[in-house]
Structure 1
């Protein structure tokens, strides 16, 4: 499997944040059902930042059953941190 424990949140939380932003903060400059680059970067960045903090909290100690929270065989906070940094860099160069 590509994830263990709560590692599936690495993909789920950014997608959920994008959908939440599309509902709560619709961009009038795009067609209904589409999203702007700003919404995409904010959704993925905020969702991945949440996962980074969650990964550090969940992987702080080894659980009694030995489960670690991984995504692609890495602790879930590191791919989430990389995604957050990519979103910040893209937003800065935009």
Structure 2
């Protein structure tokens, strides 16, 4: 099984099998998606599946510890998006 890791500033993600965990450290949010049933990432399962959140978070943390190079630059600007009254930051 291939595992995909991604990070940009305070945003990071792991895709493993059908699962995708996205973490936004600035907004203090974690989102979990089952991509086999929700390719558009509209159904956040993070509340329903805390064990899967913990598993993937640990794998992502372990991967980050192996990275000897910090990101070369920070994002140039943050974009603040309001979704149904909740605010989310994204690096641009």
Q: TM-score, normalised by structure 1?
A: 0.32
Structure with the bigger percentage of helix? 1
Larger radius of gyration: 1
Greater relative contact order: 1 or 2 (C-alpha under 8 angstroms, separation 6 or more)?
1
Q: TM-score, normalised by structure 2?
A: 0.32
